[in-house]
Amino acid sequence: MCGIVGLVSSGPVNQQVYDALALLQHRGQDSTGIATAEGRVLHMAKAKGQVREAYRTRDMRSLLGNSGLGHVRYATRGTASSEEEAQPFYVNAPYGIILVHNGNLTNTRELTRELNEVDRRHLNTNSDTELLVNVLAHELQQQVTISTDLDPDQVFAAISRVHERVEGSYAAIALIAGHGLLAFRDPFGIRPLVLGRRLSESGQHEWVVASESLVLEAGDYEIVRDIAPGEAVFISQSGELISRQCAANPRLIPCSFEYVYLARPDSIMNGISVYEARLRLGDRLANTIAEYAPTGDIDVVMPIPDSSRPAAMQVAQKLGIEYREGFYKNRYVGRTFIMPGQAERKKSVKQKLNAMSSEFRGKNILIVDDSIVRGTTSKEIVEMARSAGAHSVTFTSAAPPVRYPHVYGINMPTSNELVAHGRKIPDIARELGADHLIYQEVADMQSAIIEGSDITELEMSCFTGDYVTGSVSPEYLTWVEANQNS
Amino acid sequence: MCGIVGLVSSGPVNQQVYDALALLQHRGQDSTGIATAEGRVLHMAKAKGQVREAYRTRDMRSLLGNSGLGHVRYATRGTASSEEEAQPFYVNAPYGIILVHNGNLTNTRELTRELNEVDRRHLNTNSDTELLVNVLAHELQQQVTISTDLDPDQVFAAISRVHERVEGSYAAIALIAGHGLLAFRDPFGIRPLVLGRRLSESGQHEWVVASESLVLEAGDYEIVRDIAPGEAVFISQSGELISRQCAANPRLIPCSFEYVYLARPDSIMNGISVYEARLRLGDRLANTIAEYAPTGDIDVVMPIPDSSRPAAMQVAQKLGIEYREGFYKNRYVGRTFIMPGQAERKKSVKQKLNAMSSEFRGKNILIVDDSIVRGTTSKEIVEMARSAGAHSVTFTSAAPPVRYPHVYGINMPTSNELVAHGRKIPDIARELGADHLIYQEVADMQSAIIEGSDITELEMSCFTGDYVTGSVSPEYLTWVEANQNS
Amino acid sequence: MCGIVGLVSSGPVNQQVYDALALLQHRGQDSTGIATAEGRVLHMAKAKGQVREAYRTRDMRSLLGNSGLGHVRYATRGTASSEEEAQPFYVNAPYGIILVHNGNLTNTRELTRELNEVDRRHLNTNSDTELLVNVLAHELQQQVTISTDLDPDQVFAAISRVHERVEGSYAAIALIAGHGLLAFRDPFGIRPLVLGRRLSESGQHEWVVASESLVLEAGDYEIVRDIAPGEAVFISQSGELISRQCAANPRLIPCSFEYVYLARPDSIMNGISVYEARLRLGDRLANTIAEYAPTGDIDVVMPIPDSSRPAAMQVAQKLGIEYREGFYKNRYVGRTFIMPGQAERKKSVKQKLNAMSSEFRGKNILIVDDSIVRGTTSKEIVEMARSAGAHSVTFTSAAPPVRYPHVYGINMPTSNELVAHGRKIPDIARELGADHLIYQEVADMQSAIIEGSDITELEMSCFTGDYVTGSVSPEYLTWVEANQNS
Amino acid sequence: MCGIVGLVSSGPVNQQVYDALALLQHRGQDSTGIATAEGRVLHMAKAKGQVREAYRTRDMRSLLGNSGLGHVRYATRGTASSEEEAQPFYVNAPYGIILVHNGNLTNTRELTRELNEVDRRHLNTNSDTELLVNVLAHELQQQVTISTDLDPDQVFAAISRVHERVEGSYAAIALIAGHGLLAFRDPFGIRPLVLGRRLSESGQHEWVVASESLVLEAGDYEIVRDIAPGEAVFISQSGELISRQCAANPRLIPCSFEYVYLARPDSIMNGISVYEARLRLGDRLANTIAEYAPTGDIDVVMPIPDSSRPAAMQVAQKLGIEYREGFYKNRYVGRTFIMPGQAERKKSVKQKLNAMSSEFRGKNILIVDDSIVRGTTSKEIVEMARSAGAHSVTFTSAAPPVRYPHVYGINMPTSNELVAHGRKIPDIARELGADHLIYQEVADMQSAIIEGSDITELEMSCFTGDYVTGSVSPEYLTWVEANQNS
């Protein structure tokens, strides 16, 4: 999970990129980076932690220039070298390219071999972003001629080659030093990327591309459109935009998890309001609950703050049951320091949630969560409700059972750690300690999300096991699980 | 606004104090400090910013010892020296005392004069906490005898003198080096302080005192009771607790603003659940709304997240109007960097809140906020609702109009900046741009908060102008406003 | 070993204190601190390491005010808590006192007991400076009256009591908040302290007190005089100076080691030029060499840079032997990082010195060092000379054999680690591997240092075993060696 | 002025590179960088300031691997972007190359144009080192074939092309990721580079290349030889060394300034001991002094510590005049902090040198300095001698008059700032305020340095105006002075 943004402006962009990253902070909090282009000169700063902690005034002062890009990153567990894998990644030939990426490549083994043995390029980390920028650099190098300077046609030709060589999900933004900003999206448009425009006070076009539309709204940009699957957009330093479809068979199949959990509710992606998609997920879930659960004696419907609130509100309204907020979310979670001679503390959901017992005592509770992944949090929530005095607990999930790994850029545990992997629903209910357990149906999730839009397909592999890119074989999944890092 | 905690444990307290401060973070985010006692040796670390950012591993490793205390601070505007005013404050004679304080003293001018000219003690800052620890040290010094070591009677005698000399609000915790932990509360109990106990695995009593009970709950402490107004509690390093009433005429008059806005809903203070008090504030507000506002055409009731959610939920239920969450709160707000040659950005509520337009379009909205202070935020919220498409906006406040300064430890603007200062309600409505404006009645607020408890009086001076401590004269209020710092 | 400075100026002193500390850096490189007084407000910054590394711009900007003091410190081995022992030390009553100290107290056990059990003051560290400031504070507290503000008579009375209670060496400087700067020296004047004065551009007197006169010279101050043994000097914030003899039987017995090794050659202390004292040490040493060593075949005289250069130059001239510099001193010595799984490196004199082999090959070398303490360095130097090709090595020391602990503020190993402890000179020569070994005679050292001055006695206990303060008994020396910290 | 080192070892090299850089610290103190190769992965850390201050433990822990390189840098004035110009520089294709460089390229304008317009590589700074690594990378890229991995022949072919394209001075060391370490020197061998070898405990060859031989000596390496002009040496990660002459017409013309001033005296360069060269410079200077100066009444010969000591000692001996050290060098020079509202302090030689007045009073002084560049320091030294009481001051320079810019990597002021530029010696003497002024003759300097070696030519352009590389035209010198940066 990552968030990206790129800007071509008529004035300094450092604070604008910073502000955009703060708005995308929910997409990744482990590290962050900003790069800017000041004519031919690139400036970069990256650091661990949240945006607010990561940048010092002197970093910001060094980020000169009117175009720039930024990244927030959610690192995967066990990545010792995670600091060196912070984005953006830079290559100095041809032209100087600096790139940020949201997504996950699935043919990394083939690409690594090719780059090492054929292209003879250096890969300093295990990051798939370093692979992506090197493939792009190599293909752009092939286009270089002595007689002419960089031409957008050359850029688009290189992106076409990238689409041929690279598999997986990738929404990416790059600065090409001295030339402009390039944004492109994989041929299935799995990860989001939206384009915005505004006029500067002096009448110049200013452009933004970002993972979520709320960045545009906050900056008073007009939403132009989503970058299309397979499309590349090149914006020169002076603000001219040229775009081209660079994929052979583009097909829009966006990731369903953005709507279920990842994106902010006030974003619009691929023409679909995330907030309204969540309301519809609540509506459909209410139907399934009504059909399968004994709702007659339910006293209250409760969300797990913050992401399941819209679905829960809709479930309550549709079932005609009172909506109450019995869980309080603690916003300020501290660190655990390892002291010599002390054992490490157990992580507990109690650090993040607290139950208001007056809302639970003696009641039959229906809890709505956005999804159930490992199940450990859900289990603790059920326990918390019971020890606050709940008489019975019905647990519901606005998403279907998560049964397969997610390989397109959402961090998830391995199959064996998924509570729904290889289990039937009653077994899962027993595992969670819930009196009843209701999941959204797969078809309902799909129709709830795409209703009213032009979209016909969704990337739902973690629910169905069907992967859209060719390189995802059972052998690949086994390898990924053994070498977890994205 | 500050949060404090003190612990006497059977093992290292550094991580426990840290965790408690993270839970109290909502009470102050500008600076924080921790001190611990390791036998006779005191250790201290303080820094700017939130708990999570402020402490490094090496700070934590130096905070050795089984008793300790901590502080989170909300600094007042314009305090250039704010870093030097970070708590705790330390004096090395007698015995070595280190103290944290929540509240605000109101006879600071007299105390400063006495300490400088009579007691001949050094005050290095304008902090009233430095005054408090020096008065305590001076009075304890008067009790010192050559023949005997420190005795709790001496401590209680000193606290009695503190109550005689000091006016204002103060909940305070101190470590006396080599002896123990001292906690005391002003004779009106204006600011909260609650006592908890648990048994260690080895069967020893472990104690905690904290601003809010949720700290106790999170640490599996049993709530023993609130520290009484005027009472002092002394806990030796080995865990013996002795307490004594040290004030001549104690009277419990707790601050109403804790219930309205400051405290976390899952806290219980002075026997009153904050969450339930907020639900009751919603109930009473619903009555007033029903009486004075044209509610017939209201489509939805909306809270301003997070603090007005319980009241709003109750208003919706009681009025039988649909409850919807149309505002989304942005959790990650970045900093503004001052770049050479760039103008400073205007602060805007848009950085903190976003409106989901589908919930507003064409509707008549009833907004519930916890209180209205300056009115600038409320005005922006009304504008935001309108530009999201609201047909009409009724604005309601779960607290009465704030018309007077708060001098007991809640940071507030000067009178002239209060939107309700010297204005009638229709004028305020016009100022905010609201179609209708309904405030809670003062009597309703009081009865809502104290219902079902033993409390008969509440500190409500910012609503009524009646101050319980003698030193708060009109001349004092004028001086405070001219020399704003608490 | 420490260096101290105090300043009362007509403008900001932060940079002046900083510059003075850089000039005193040779007296201690482990930690440093600066405090300033801005009216009644004190500011302080302290940190580990050398002056150049320790202070950041923001530290310096916070050190406001026209009077101030500073400290550089040479920490003793094995002091885990050394960071908390960094100077200055502050007490807030009476008045607010902040103090720096060069020297070492010898009745620390008695003082600790009195302060804990009688004065009831808190000692947070094992630092004897914390003892000193607390004795001073306690005695000044006894002088406080309600009716009058601080009077210099009260200060001098307190210093008289300090002289009665405290034993050992102490040159100290303190700021008394809101009043002025106080400097005093123990009744034997063991450690140096010199007073300087200049006129500001506006005609105001500006004052400096410092460990060494070069600080005065660098700041264009006129040397007024050394602070006398037992004397105290009080300089008000506006520049009035009052001084008084506060000791019953003052007697000037300055530390000989300042002249032998510690002080910079361009300093004048107690009326004696350090440089010229070193030249005279060379003259006398030449006589002893001529008498006892076979000098006929010596080819060259060589110093160990930098401190023995003057003595060596004089030895060469007087013996009529060629003077050559065959050792090169490496100025930039790095740190040793402890890597997981790697053994610690052996410290070697090779990191600090290098031999130019052409100066050694086939020659008979006479090496002059300032003194021999542990002997390990001397032994390595002899080896280095031999492996550079020396035919024979005569090792000479401008100071007599160091046979006893130094308890007055020069860091030295315990007796057993002194190569001359309990050994005859031929045995020491064998230990060092030298062909011949000549030491300065004790009487010659004394007469060389004091020649031409008014001084009649020198503190030479580490050469003679005679200690001038009463508390230094064999039992004390045993205790010190077991609890090494100064 | 810079110092470089490279190591191929059988164990971790981080501490070894660090130690070597501390030994080379005299060659540059503005910034420093280290890179290591751990198989195919490169690690890098760079920072401002001296080696001792620049690296933290966590930097060192991240510098894993058994081969590595390092750099210390003397930044030129006015380089705002100097932090971004810190070395090493990295390019990721082909293979991954990371390079450090001592020297200065003189056809930077042509190279920049070619790289931008023909090779299409990105130059992010004005550093000539970035040019060098990009030319190397481009030429190595031309050698890449799909069928075979990197071969030393390819490397040597690329270096041959580098020699053809690049003009100026360059001693350089590079790591080629996954392959080995490469060291090469320009076809005139202007800047030094020496090769050393030792056997590890397990019998493996370990290699070092460094700017100065003292690094080898300190690490117990045997000096193998200097890298020849135009030669390239490639050492594989497993320790096999292959070398080849890659230049068409190599000719050894080393920089004379290394011997005059820059190098440490205990280094041997191009077969010449720096220390002995300086002694010989003293001998020849003595002859010239005897011929031209009235030496009859000179009382003492004095060096300016530390670099002119050998020459001065030799002048004294040869003229039969007493040698005295009257100047003391202050080792610890602090920083100047810019405080709001305060004027910047004048830099003065008094911060660095102090005069012992007893050595000057009433005497006729002959001062020996290594060279005279701007003349401002010399002038202050003459003044200092006079105000310390000197009767007359004869100033002498062990190097000839510096009259032309140095373009091969020694930082020097522009022509107009050179005191000898366009001035006759009596005019310079008047400028410096010296009674007499004697310079070394150009021919004497050359013969003194090369005596006893195989060298026949020296780079002496700053004394003679004759530059060995073709691109140094008057037009170039004018451009350099207008765009000072090396």
Query: What is the sign of the dihedral through the CA atoms of C354, C356, C359 and C362?
Result: positive
**Residues A439/A400, Cβ–Cβ less than 8 Å:** yes
- pLDDT computed for residue A345 by the predictor: 63
| Pick among B15, B214, B349, B351 to test the A interface (most A CBs inside 10 A) | B15
In the three-class reduction of DSSP (H, G, I as helix; E, B as strand; rest coil), residue B210 is classed as: strand
Residues paired with D133 in a beta bridge = none
- pLDDT computed for residue B194 by the predictor: 98
**Residues C15/C73, Cβ–Cβ less than 8 Å:** no
Residues paired with C36 in a beta bridge = C43, C68
- pLDDT computed for residue D82 by the predictor: 61
**Residues B223/B268, Cβ–Cβ less than 8 Å:** yes
Strand ranges across the sheet with A97-105: A89-91, A97-105, A168-176, A180-185, A231-236, A241-245
At residue C345 the predicted structure's pLDDT band, cuts being 50, 70 and 90, is low
> Inter-chain contact D120–A92, Cβ cutoff 8 Å?
no
> Inter-chain contact B57–A337, Cβ cutoff 8 Å?
yes
Average pLDDT for chain B: 93
Cα C65 to Cα C7, C13, C42, C92, C323: the distances in Å are 11, 7, 8, 18, 50
Least confident of A347-356, B29-38, C203-212, D13-22: A347-356
pLDDT greater than 80 at residue D389? yes
Cα–Cα distance measured from residue A354 to residue A328, given in angstroms and rounded to the nearest whole number = 5
The per-residue DSSP string of C350-409 comes to: GGTEEE-GGGTTT-EEEEEES--SSSHHHHHHHHHHHHTT-SEEEEEESS----S---SS
Cα–Cα distance measured from residue C353 to residue D264, given in angstroms and rounded to the nearest whole number = 12
Residues D171-198 have a mean pLDDT of 97
Closest CA to D404 of D312, D472, D307, D330: D472
At residue B344 the predicted structure's pLDDT band, cuts being 50, 70 and 90, is low
Cα–Cα distance measured from residue C283 to residue B206, given in angstroms and rounded to the nearest whole number = 72
Q: What is the pLDDT of residues D427-478, one digit of tens each?
A: 999 999 999 999 999 999 999 999 999 999 999 999 999 999 888 998 999 8
pLDDT greater than 80 at residue B455? yes
C137 touches chain B (CB under 8 A): yes
Angle between helices D128-143 and D152-165 (to 10 degrees): 130
Measured between beta carbons, which residues in chain B are less than 8 angstroms from residue C41? 124-125
Q: What are the start-end ranges of the H helices in D205-249?
A: 214-218
> Inter-chain contact B339–A12, Cβ cutoff 8 Å?
yes
Q: How many Å separate Cα A51 from the centre of its chain? A: 17
Half-sphere exposure of A336 toward its Cβ, with a 13 Å CA cutoff?
9
> Inter-chain contact C276–D313, Cβ cutoff 8 Å?
no
- pLDDT computed for residue B266 by the predictor: 93
Token pair 């023949």 in the structure block, residue:
B147
At residue D484 the predicted structure's pLDDT band, cuts being 50, 70 and 90, is low
pLDDT greater than 90 at residue C175? yes
C118 touches chain B (CB under 8 A): yes
Distance from CA of D162 to the nearest CA of C (A): 35
Q: What is the pLDDT of residues C12-21, one digit of tens each?
A: 999 999 999 9
**Which two three-digit tokens encode residue C158?**
């307190």
**Which two three-digit tokens encode residue B64?**
């050795």
User: What is the chain D residue with the closest CA to A41?
Assistant: D124
- Strand pairing of A327-329 and A392-397? unpaired
- pLDDT computed for residue A220 by the predictor: 93
At residue D345 the predicted structure's pLDDT band, cuts being 50, 70 and 90, is low
- pLDDT computed for residue C219 by the predictor: 92
Angle between helices C309-319 and C274-292 (to 10 degrees): 40
What's chain B's length in residues?
Answer: 486
- Strand pairing of C272-273 and C268-269? antiparallel
Q: What is the pLDDT of residues C427-463, one digit of tens each?
A: 999 999 999 999 999 999 999 999 999 999 999 999 9
Residues D72-76 have a mean pLDDT of 83
C155 touches chain B (CB under 8 A): no
- pLDDT computed for residue D293 by the predictor: 86
Distance from CA of A266 to the nearest CA of B (A): 6
Q: How many Å separate Cα B265 from the centre of its chain? A: 13
> Inter-chain contact D122–A92, Cβ cutoff 8 Å?
yes
According to CATH, the topology of domain D3-252 is Glutamine Phosphoribosylpyrophosphate, subunit 1, domain 1 (3.60.20)
In the three-class reduction of DSSP (H, G, I as helix; E, B as strand; rest coil), residue D92 is classed as: coil
Phi and psi at A403, nearest 5°, equal -120, -15
Cα C486 to Cα B132, C76, C256, C415, D403: the distances in Å are 35, 7, 19, 16, 56
> Inter-chain contact B333–A217, Cβ cutoff 8 Å?
no
**Residues B404/B362, Cβ–Cβ less than 8 Å:** no
- Strand pairing of A353-355 and A327-329? antiparallel
Chain C and chain A touch, per 3+ beta carbon pairs within 8 A? no
Measured between beta carbons, which residues in chain A are less than 8 angstroms from residue D125? 41
Q: What is the pLDDT of residues D305-329, one digit of tens each?
A: 999 999 999 999 999 999 999 999 9
Please name the residues in contact with B298: beta carbons below 8 A apart, sequence gap of 6 or more. Answer: B319, B321, B364, B365, B366, B394
Q: What is the pLDDT of residues C279-299, one digit of tens each?
A: 999 999 999 999 998 878 999
C144 touches chain B (CB under 8 A): yes
Q: Is A369 annotated as a binding residue?
A: yes
Strands (E), B12-63: 31-38, 41-48
Verify whether residue B2 is a known catalytic residue: yes
pLDDT greater than 70 at residue C217? yes
Amino acid at D463: F
Q: What is the pLDDT of residues D47-67, one digit of tens each?
A: 998 998 899 998 999 999 999
**Residues B378/B393, Cβ–Cβ less than 8 Å:** no
CATH architecture for residues B273-482: 3-Layer(aba) Sandwich (3.40)
**Which two three-digit tokens encode residue B112?**
């400063």
The per-residue DSSP string of A272-293 comes to: EEHHHHHHHHHHHHHHHHHHHS
Task: Give ipTM to 2 decimals.
Answer: 0.90
Closest CA to B258 of B439, B410, B102, B372: B410
Q: Where are the domains of chain D?
A: 3-252, 273-482
Residues D167-189 have a mean pLDDT of 97
Q: What are the start-end ranges of the H helices in D170-251?
A: 214-218
Q: What is the pLDDT of residues B304-340, one digit of tens each?
A: 999 999 999 999 999 999 999 999 999 888 887 877 6
Closest CA to A378 of A441, A420, A319, A321: A420
Least confident of C246-255, C262-271, C413-422, D93-102: C413-422
Cα D51 to Cα B128, D70, D72, D258: the distances in Å are 46, 10, 8, 21
Chain D and chain A touch, per 3+ beta carbon pairs within 8 A? yes
Residues B143-171 have a mean pLDDT of 93
- pLDDT computed for residue A460 by the predictor: 97
pLDDT tens, position by position, for chain A (486 residues)?
A: 899 999 999 999 999 999 999 999 999 999 999 999 999 999 999 999 899 889 998 899 999 999 999 999 987 644 444 667 889 999 999 999 999 999 999 999 999 999 998 888 999 998 999 999 999 999 999 998 877 889 999 999 999 999 999 999 999 999 999 999 999 999 999 999 999 999 998 889 999 999 999 999 999 999 999 999 999 999 999 999 999 999 999 999 999 999 999 999 999 999 999 999 999 999 999 999 999 988 789 999 999 999 999 999 999 999 999 999 999 999 888 887 877 666 666 667 888 899 999 999 999 999 999 999 999 999 999 999 999 999 999 999 999 999 999 999 888 888 889 999 999 999 999 999 999 999 999 999 999 999 999 999 999 999 999 999 888 998 999 888 887 644
Helix (H) or strand (E) holding B52: helix B51-54
Please name the residues in contact with D190: beta carbons below 8 A apart, sequence gap of 6 or more. Answer: D103, D169, D253, D254, D255, D408, D409, D459, D468
Chain C and chain D touch, per 3+ beta carbon pairs within 8 A? yes
Q: Which of residues 229-268 of C touch D (CB under 8 A)?
A: 264-266
% residues pLDDT > 90 (chain C): 81
> Inter-chain contact B122–C96, Cβ cutoff 8 Å?
yes
Cα–Cα distance measured from residue C404 to residue C421, given in angstroms and rounded to the nearest whole number = 7
pLDDT greater than 70 at residue C365? yes
User: What is the chain A residue with the closest CA to D130?
Assistant: A92
Q: Which of residues 57-86 of D touch C (CB under 8 A)?
A: 57, 60-61
Cα–Cα distance measured from residue C37 to residue C12, given in angstroms and rounded to the nearest whole number = 10
> Inter-chain contact B60–A337, Cβ cutoff 8 Å?
yes
